[in-house]
Chains A and B, each alone.
Chain A
Amino acid sequence: MKKNYKIEEEIERTLQSLEGIKPAEPTPFFYTRLQARMEKKKEVKTGWHWRPAYAYAFLGVVILLNVWTIYQVSHRSSNAESGEQFANDYGLNDFSGFDTN
């Protein structure tokens, strides 16, 4: 009973421990540090690579490079196919080099 009363008292005293609390202050030069952070953020956002024109141009170059690569690969394989066809047509597939004996 006595223990319960003591616990209730502890709870009440703990709940009241914030009475008279004073506001906590941020460290000095808060505004200066905030300004510096905002400037830094602005620099990152307004860097040349963030401008839409540059971003679209870069994207265009990447797409063109991809198209060019796909074209080159498919063209090369069609060349190889036609070379093989030519060899078959003229019976060149049996050629096994010059006989040196």
Chain B
Amino acid sequence: MNDLELLQGLQSRQAVAFRYLVEHYQTKVFNTVLAIVQHPEEAEDVAQEVFMEVYESIDKFRGESKVSSWVYRIATTKALEAYRKKKAQKRWGGFLSSLFGENNEAMYEPIDFVHPGVELENKERASVLFKAINQLSDNQKIAFTLHHVEGLSYQEVTEVMQVSLSSVESLMFRAKTNLKSLLKTYYTSQ
């Protein structure tokens, strides 16, 4: 099924088209979301929301970009929303427990995320890297994860993020510089 057939099928609410979309994109969406929210159950929940959003807003999609870019765009937006929400809840939870005198450090310390697709010998290092990725700005985080985790080319990243190639190059350069600086702090303190 090509993009045009898929789009027409989705816009006419064909179950076959929607099923094709989900089965074709579920791994891509889940993987993209997982790299940002860094929690498998939550990533699956957000991935479902991505497809629900695709289904509900298909009439607004005019086909000016590829279906894949559009789906990735919804996935990154939803993942960032979920990440921000979780962060705010943690902050609020931390504030509440500090008010009531509980030891919030143990409760709200994020669990180390280990991506299931990382090679065994790299798991520990990847976990350190994902922690550093979490501290990047939203755009740097999206550009970096789409390229390094999802394996999209710079050109594909420009289509998802709707920015120029030079902007993506700049985002990647700044992301790497910031990651190096964060990792330096981490390894110096070790």
Residues of A within 8 A of B (CB): 7, 10-11, 13-15, 17-27, 30-31, 33-34, 37-38, 41
Contacts and interface: CB of A to CB of B under 8 A. Distances in A.
Contact of B27 (A11, A21, A23, A31): A23
B117 A17 contact: no
A31 B184 contact: no
Interface string B153-190: 00000000000000000000000100110011001100
A41 B52 CA distance: 10
Nearest to A7: B187
Contact of A34 (B48, B128, B188): B48
Given A7-B188, A30-B22, A18 B31 contact: no
Tier of interface size on chain B: 35 or more
B183 A14 contact: yes
The 3 closest A-B pairs by CB, nearest first: A22-B117, A17-B125, A17-B122
Contact of B187 (A11, A25, A31, A37): A11
A20 B67 CA distance: 26
A37 B180 CA distance: 42
A30 B26 CA distance: 8
Interface string B125-166: 110110000000000000000001110000000000000000
Given A14-B183, A15-B180, A21 B117 contact: yes
Contacts of A26: 26-27, 30, 43-44, 47
B84 interface: no
